Amino acid sequence: QGVSEVTQESLRSQIAIVQQEPILFHRSLAENIAYGRPGASQAEIEQAARLASAHEFIAPLPKGYGTLVGERGLKLSGGERQRVAIARAFLANAPILILDEATSSLDSESEVLIQQAVDRLMVGRTTLVIAHRLSTVRSLDRLLVFDRGRIMEDGDHAALINLDGGIYRRLFERQALELAKGLA
């Protein structure tokens, strides 16, 4: 399709987004997941939830997938909201994925589950990851380091970590030190 023929609707159908603070509606869990692909069957919704590690917390709920999430999803933990958003992205099955600080404000247990789900979600997709926590981007093929809106460094983790005086290296070392202090 030529660029001049691209509509907003056709562009949106090619992109799935998982944000730091996912937008959830005062609807059921199933409806919130189905927002990724309206008209999806219950089986498709549940499969997406399984891939996102969300089925484990949804299935035991008294109303399961029929459970209302409350205004903006406030009845769910941050990790649960993220997994619903990831399930929505799995269901959308878009070729382009944007992860905007998708794991930045989670506890360690939730972060592990969500990182595993995100790793599954990225397979076969062009993925743009916006992250300040550099441990979440180590395995990516290409990293762009921005400073004040300009690309300052470009490469994979190994190339950037070996760049003497590099921004990525400095930030990575600082975060590793902060993590080590937190564990001590």
Kindly report which listed range (110-119, 139-148, 166-175) carries the lowest average pLDDT score.
Answer: 110-119
pLDDT band at 107 (very low <50, low <70, confident <90, very high): low
Per-residue model confidence as pLDDT tens digits over 42-58: 999 999 999 998 999 99
Mean pLDDT (whole number) for 115-144: 88
pLDDT band at 102 (very low <50, low <70, confident <90, very high): confident
Asked if residue 104 has pLDDT above 70, the reply is no
Dist CA 34 CA 40 (whole Å): 6
The answer to whether 61 touches 67, Cβ cutoff 8 Å, is: yes
Residue 1, burial from CB neighbour count under 10 angstroms (0-12, 13-18, 19+): exposed
pLDDT band at 166 (very low <50, low <70, confident <90, very high): very high
The answer to whether 135 touches 101, Cβ cutoff 8 Å, is: no
* pLDDT attached to residue 39: 94
Mean pLDDT (whole number) for 60-75: 90
Dist CA 75 CA 168 (whole Å): 37
Per-residue model confidence as pLDDT tens digits over 3-40: 788 889 888 889 999 998 898 999 999 999 999 999 99
DSSP β-bridge partners for residue 143: 155
- Domain map of the chain by residue range? 3-131, 133-184
Dist CA 157 CA 141 (whole Å): 8
Dist CA 120 CA 131 (whole Å): 18
CATH class belonging to 3-131: alpha beta
What percent of the chain shows pLDDT beyond 90? 60
* pLDDT attached to residue 1: 67
Asked if residue 139 has pLDDT above 80, the reply is yes
Mean pLDDT (whole number) for 129-152: 90
* pLDDT attached to residue 117: 82
